[in-house]
């Protein structure tokens, strides 16, 4: 599935995307292309709609009462909000890592094996074992948990839990991984590990990461999109955004004049 | 100058605070005392309640027995000598008991005396002999010393719950019987033993033969029916309402109604059961099936409410994690939410069952007050249940039923405590782990 991702082609593209929560409009007319095989960071002050945009991509907004999405959002050219499209299939292609680590209160093994099990990705136990081990390895967690795979996922430290959640997402072999402030609940050392991991994963996955830390955006992403009050203000190469923003609002945000 | 005023005002503040401090301490002390007093008061009432029940009832677990040397007289049991089972079964065993007592206490007794004698022992004594013969006909012709259960009147006097002075008014026993009692005591031929009959027998008009086993089995069958109906229905309802149902006016209406149902007096459910289960569906009257169905109606709202609370307590992050991996709504519930909510649901169910075990009024409404001697063999047989049995005994005139009532209350309380303990242990064991 992830053999070769042509750099630069647009994996996800939004055109005129609007999101309402009841009467309140959270996103206004977003046009945004997210290239394959890169890390795209979404930044902006809190409440500006970054998470909302992220949740549109794997249709997690479907679970929110009163949320209404209009406009178009495509994944590899096909409409994500097509009535024919099966949400389960979409979410197998688009994995998600949440702000607060949320491992299942099950064993470490079962946490990682859950996705492959429900999607029938392994034909036998040996294959499942292999998927689990591979995913843990890729998430840089294998060495730490190899000897206690049957312990509860919730017994790990916060940083380990978040990497377990990443391993769990990887195990389904998605094409896109969405991360909503994955490090906001972690200490600096755990954060550094997760950032390192994101950098390694970039070769095989398209990653969209929401972050409130500008340093983090600068460290891990190749592209950055700046949101403000539900509108996309500016998008471009990360270097460019941080060194030479076009919009005064962007400038104001990255220099810390508001946020 | 300004410095001075600042200092004085600081001192003033400290003084005011100190003055208020004492008042605050006093208020806190009063509050603590009030709380303590109310705890002591309620604990006192509890002790009083349990104390009376135990003081009145513990003798119910004991049975007075008389040692009698009986003769298995072949002339009485089997005059033809061919050991035909019907003959052995219908022989005049009471006469044998009477004879044995007469031989021991009043060798040349007339008819009246003999009637007084046989009023000392329970008819269970003759029954005991009949069973011995049926089990082993070779005892015929022999003699044996048996501990036969005393009648309720002798039982009461011997346990000190009825007056014993010779010639007293309203005596349970005649003066002659009191004399025999004294004689039996002298030779150690009377004793108090563990009352097996109380735990193995069904109801009876004769207090010394009345037992709670019939009611225990009836309660068990009723609760089994209740559990079988209300648990799956309650869990399914809770899961549907909490996880799948759209939030609109209809589901709001249903929710309000369920909450109201939980507060409806149970007698009303009894009336409903009478109208529906007995008059429309013609379920057997006074049977655990009908009772269990009514109790299931009473438990349902409790189980649904507890179930929804347990489902609500499962953090949304777990649902999101599963959804993010592509689990379908049903998989999210079946794989993650329901297992995590199950301990809470079970706790709610056990508490609901405990309530159902103690319910009396609705069962009276569906006619579960009949006098039933036989131990029920299936949920379709007529039977009593524990609280109704207590109600029936409490209304009986014989003095001997007083201790039975209290003893049965103790058994019921024991079951209730056990169920509540199970609920608490379940809750402790599966304390939230996320
Ligand atoms: N479930 C929801 N219901 C109603 N309003 C919401 C919901 N989630 C988010 N919002 C609103 O949408 C806006 C964008 O929120 P969000 O996407 O969470 O912002 P961000 O992630 O950038 O902090 C906010 O004003 C927020 O109040
Ligand atoms: Mg957010």
The domain that contains B252 carries what CATH number? 1.10.3720.10
The boundaries of the domain holding residue B157 are: 64-194
Residues B161 and B272 in one domain: no
* Alpha-carbon gap: A76 to the closest alpha carbon of chain B (Å): 19
Q: Is the pLDDT of residue B33 over 90?
A: yes
Are residues B178 and B223 located together in one domain of the fold?
A: no
B282 and B420 in a common domain:
yes
B82-137: pLDDT as tens digits: 888 888 888 889 989 988 988 888 888 788 888 888 888 998 989 989 999 888 88
Residues 6+ apart with CB under 8 A from B209: B122, B123, B124, B197, B201
Are B223 and B323 in a shared domain? yes
Q: Examine the domain organization and report whether B176 and B270 are in the same domain.
A: no
C-beta atoms of A91 and B322 within 8 A = no
Q: What angle do the packed helices B93-105 and B111-118 form, to 10 degrees?
A: 100
Q: How far apart are CA B112 and CA A210, in angstroms?
A: 103
Q: What is the ipTM of this complex?
A: 0.90
pTM attached to this predicted model:
0.82
CB atoms < 10 A from the CB of B326, how many?
Answer: 25
B119 and B258 inside one domain: no
Going across the sheet that includes A223-228, the strands are A94-97, A176-180, A206-210, A39-43, A223-228, A231-237
User: pLDDT above 70 covers what percent of chain B?
Assistant: 97
Pairwise CA distance, residues A148 & A169, whole Å: 20
Give the model's pLDDT for residue A2: 41
Give the pLDDT of residue B3.
62
B23: in domain: no
Give the closest residue to A41 by CA, choosing from A166, A221, A176. A221
Q: Which residue has the higher pLDDT, A169 or B286?
A: A169
What is the residue-wise DSSP string for B81-143?
Answer: SS--HHHHHHS-HHHHHHHHHHHHH-TT--HHHHHHHHTTB-THHHHHHHHHHHH-GGGTT-E
- Between CA A146 and CA A150 the distance in angstroms is 9
The pLDDT value recorded for residue B368 is 86
Listed residues B134, B166, B194: the one ending a domain? B194
- Residue B38 within a domain: no
From the CA atom positions of chain B, what is the Rg in Å?
Answer: 32
The DSSP code for B254 is H
- Cα torsion B11, B12, B17, B19: sign: positive
* Burial (Cβ within 10 Å: 0-12, 13-18, ≥19) of residue B315: middle
Whether B226 maps to a domain, the answer reads: yes
Name residue, tokens 């011995």. Answer: B132
- State yes or no: pLDDT of B150 exceeds 60: yes
pLDDT at B398: 86
Mean pLDDT of the B404-427 span: 92
Q: Is the pLDDT at A8 greater than 60, yes or no?
A: no
pLDDT, tens digit, for every residue of B362-398? 999 888 888 888 899 999 999 999 999 999 999 988 8
Q: Does B320 touch chain A (CB under 8 A)?
A: yes
Q: Is the pLDDT of residue B413 over 90?
A: yes
pLDDT for B433: 57
Give the tens place of pLDDT for each residue, B255-313.
999 999 988 999 999 999 999 998 999 888 889 999 999 999 999 999 999 999 999 99
User: Residue B102: inside a domain, yes or no?
Assistant: yes
- Asked if B139 and B238 sit in the same domain, the reply is no
Assess whether pLDDT exceeds 90 at residue A10: no
B80 or B269, higher pLDDT: B269
B375 lies in the same domain as B243 = yes
Q: Is A91 in contact with B336 (Cβ distance < 8 A)?
A: no
B172 and B86 in a single domain? The answer is yes
Does the beta carbon of A50 lie inside 6 Å of ligand 1? Answer: yes
pLDDT reported for residue A226? 95
Domain count along chain B: 2
Residue A45 alpha carbon, nearest atom of ligand 1: 22
Q: What is the mean pLDDT of chain B?
A: 90
- Rg, Å, chain A Cα set: 18
Domain boundary among B194, B224, B252: B194
Instruction: Check residue A125 and give its pLDDT.
Output: 94
Same domain for B409 and B309: yes
pLDDT of residue B234: 96
Residue B8 within a domain: no
Task: Please state, in angstroms and rounded to a whole number, the distance separating the CA atoms of residues B261 and B182.
Answer: 60
Q: Is there a domain that residue B120 lies in? A: yes
Q: Please state the rounded mean pLDDT for residues B141-153.
A: 90
**Do B138 and B244 fall into the same domain?**
no
> Does residue B1 surpass a pLDDT of 60?
no
Residue B10 has pLDDT above 80, yes or no: no
Provide the 8-state DSSP code for B344. H
Does B147 map to a domain?
yes
- For A115, the closest of B318, B325, B433 (CB atoms) is B325
Q: Which residue, B194, B223, B254, sits at the end of a domain?
A: B194
How many beta carbons lie within 10 A of that of residue B56, not counting itself?
17
Q: Are residues B168 and B220 in the same domain?
A: no
- For strand A206-210 and strand A39-43, is the pairing parallel, antiparallel, or unpaired? parallel
Residue B28 lies in a domain: no
């Amino acid at each position: 599935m992830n053999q070769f991702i042509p750099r630069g082609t647009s994996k996800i593209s939004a055109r005129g995307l609007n999101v309402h929560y009841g009467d309140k409009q959270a996103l206004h007319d977003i046009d945004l292309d997210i290239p394959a095989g890169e890390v795209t960071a979404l930044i902006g002050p809190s409440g500006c709609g970054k998470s909302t945009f992220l949740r549109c991509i794997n249709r997690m907004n479907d679970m929110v009462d009163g949320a209404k999405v209009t406009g178009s959002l495509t994944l590899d050219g096909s409409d994500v909000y097509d009535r024919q499209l099966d949400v389960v299939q979409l979410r197998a292609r688009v994995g998600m890592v949440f702000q607060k680590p949320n491992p299942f209160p099950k064993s470490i093994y079962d946490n990682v094996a859950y996705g492959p099990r429900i999607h029938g990705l392994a034909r036998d136990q040996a294959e499942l074992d292999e998927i689990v081990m591979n995913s843990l390895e890729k998430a840089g967690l294998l060495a730490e948990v190899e000897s206690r795979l049957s312990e509860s996922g919730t017994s790990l430290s916060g940083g380990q839990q978040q990497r377990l959640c990443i391993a769990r997402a990887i195990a389904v072999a998605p094409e896109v991984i969405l991360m909503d402030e994955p490090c906001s609940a972690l200490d600096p050392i755990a954060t550094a590990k997760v950032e390192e991991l994101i950098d390694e994963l970039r070769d095989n996955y398209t990653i969209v990461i929401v972050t409130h830390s500008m340093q983090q955006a600068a460290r891990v992403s190749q592209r950055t999109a700046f949101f403000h009050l539900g509108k996309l203000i500016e998008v471009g190469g990360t270097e460019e955004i941080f060194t030479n923003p076009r919009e005064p609002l962007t400038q104001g945000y990255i220099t810390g004049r508001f946020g | 100058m300004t410095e001075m005023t600042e200092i004085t005002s600081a001192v003033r503040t400290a003084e005011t605070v100190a003055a208020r401090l004492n008042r605050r301490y006093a208020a806190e002390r009063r509050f603590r005392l009030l709380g303590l007093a109310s705890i002591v008061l309620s604990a006192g009432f509890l002790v009083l309640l349990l104390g009376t029940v135990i003081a009145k009832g513990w003798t119910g677990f004991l049975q007075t027995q008389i040692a009698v040397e009986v003769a298995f007289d072949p002339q009485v049991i089997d005059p033809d000598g061919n050991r035909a089972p019907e003959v052995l079964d219908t022989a005049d065993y009471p006469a044998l008991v009477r004879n044995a007592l007469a031989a021991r206490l009043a060798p040349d007794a007339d008819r009246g005396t003999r009637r007084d004698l046989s009023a000392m022992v329970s008819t269970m004594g003759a029954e005991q002999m009949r069973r011995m013969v049926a089990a082993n006909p070779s005892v015929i012709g022999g003699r044996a010393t048996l501990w036969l259960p005393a009648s309720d009147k002798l039982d009461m006097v011997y346990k000190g719950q009825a007056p014993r002075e010779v010639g007293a008014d309203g005596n349970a026993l005649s003066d002659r019987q009191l004399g025999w009692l004294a004689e039996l005591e002298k030779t150690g031929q009377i004793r108090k033993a563990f009352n097996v009959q109380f735990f193995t027998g069904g109801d009876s008009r004769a207090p010394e033969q009345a037992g709670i086993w019939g009611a225990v089995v009836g309660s068990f069958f009723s609760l089994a029916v209740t559990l079988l109906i209300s648990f799956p229905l309650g869990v399914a309802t809770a899961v549907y309402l909490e996880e799948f149902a759209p939030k609109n006016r209809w589901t709001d209406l249903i929710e309000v109604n369920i909450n109201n149902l939980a507060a409806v007096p149970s007698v009303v459910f009894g009336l409903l059961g009478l109208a529906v289960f007995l008059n429309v569906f013609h379920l057997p009257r006074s049977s655990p099936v009908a009772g269990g169905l009514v109790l299931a109606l009473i438990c349902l709202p409790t189980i649904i409410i507890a179930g929804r609370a347990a489902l609500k307590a499962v953090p949304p992050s777990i649902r999101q994690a599963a959804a993010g991996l592509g689990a379908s709504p049903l998989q999210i519930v079946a794989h993650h939410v329901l297992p995590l909510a199950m301990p809470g649901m079970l706790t709610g169910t056990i508490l609901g069952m405990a309530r159902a075990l103690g319910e009396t009024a609705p069962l009276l409404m569906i006619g579960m007050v009949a006098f039933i001697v036989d131990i029920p063999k299936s949920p379709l047989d007529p039977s009593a249940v524990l609280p109704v049995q207590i109600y029936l005994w409490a209304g009986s005139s014989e003095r001997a039923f007083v201790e039975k009532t209290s003893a049965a209350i103790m058994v019921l309380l024991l079951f209730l405590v056990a169920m509540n303990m199970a609920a608490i242990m379940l809750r402790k064991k599966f304390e939230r782990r996320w």
